[in-house]
Amino acid sequence: MDTNTKSQLNFLTKPIALLSLIIILFLIVLITGIKQINTIRDKITAGKKTEISLSYKAGTLESVSQNLPKDVTFLDVILPSKGSVLYGLSQVKNQSLVAGVTVSSLKTGSSVEDSPGIFKTSILFDAEGEEQNIYNFLDSFSRLLPLMNVEKVGLTNLQGSTLANVSISVYSAKLPTKIPSITESVTELSSQDIKILQELSEYKMPVFIEPSATLPTQTKADPFN
């Protein structure tokens, strides 16, 4: 190969290499751009799906709230996570006053798991009064909050009154340990769910009787004044 041909080849090699490099860079940019466009399209599609899901969820929650009673305080007491025994003791004392029976020997047991996530605690006591009043007293626990159940009753007839040895269970539940995702779907309340909530809203809430303030005692006059 003569020197002239060799110099011509060297002259052509540089533009061809530069053109090849430009083409490779263009392809890299093009492929990267297409990937980014596809990623953006996927995000837009996912965002639209999430928007539709949240819109449906908001509508469902709004319809649920319309079916709930105005005062939803009772929802926290149906199966409380804390204080179920105190609520139960309060109900025992308050209902005894309403029924006109005397309660004594109040004792509480330990909390045991009754079903997955649901716990029950026993409250034991004696109730004394007229027989019909005892029956009314025991029947009242079927419509009290928190949810309660009369487990055992032993009746003894006394002179002019009836003594009942009673064991009731007060139910509680732990708070959920995991908060559901905001995009997780929710279902509408069924007619049966609405009926149950309406019934529970009419159950009697526990009432804690606050002690009345004592009047200030009169101070004695200082005999040395």
> How far is it, in rounded angstroms, from Cα 53 to Cα 71?
28
Q: Indicate whether this model's pTM tops 0.85.
A: no
> How far is it, in rounded angstroms, from Cα 32 to Cα 20?
18
- At 182-202, the pLDDT tens digits run 666 666 667 787 787 778 888
- At 28-69, the pLDDT tens digits run 888 888 888 888 887 777 777 766 666 666 665 566 666 566
Task: Find where tokens 């609405």 sit.
Answer: 194
**Which band of pLDDT confidence, cut at 50, 70 and 90, is reported for residue 211?**
very low
Higher pLDDT, 58 or 147: 147
Q: What is the mean pLDDT of the chain?
A: 78
Higher pLDDT, 188 or 111: 111
- At 1-35, the pLDDT tens digits run 555 555 655 656 767 777 788 888 878 888 888 88
- pLDDT at site 213: 41
Q: What is the CATH number of domain 75-174+193-200?
A: 3.30.70.60
**Which band of pLDDT confidence, cut at 50, 70 and 90, is reported for residue 136?**
very high
- pLDDT at site 40: 82
Instruction: Kindly state the tokens that stand for 164.
Output: 């009942």
**Which band of pLDDT confidence, cut at 50, 70 and 90, is reported for residue 220?**
very low
Domain coordinates of the chain in residue numbers? 1-67, 75-174+193-200
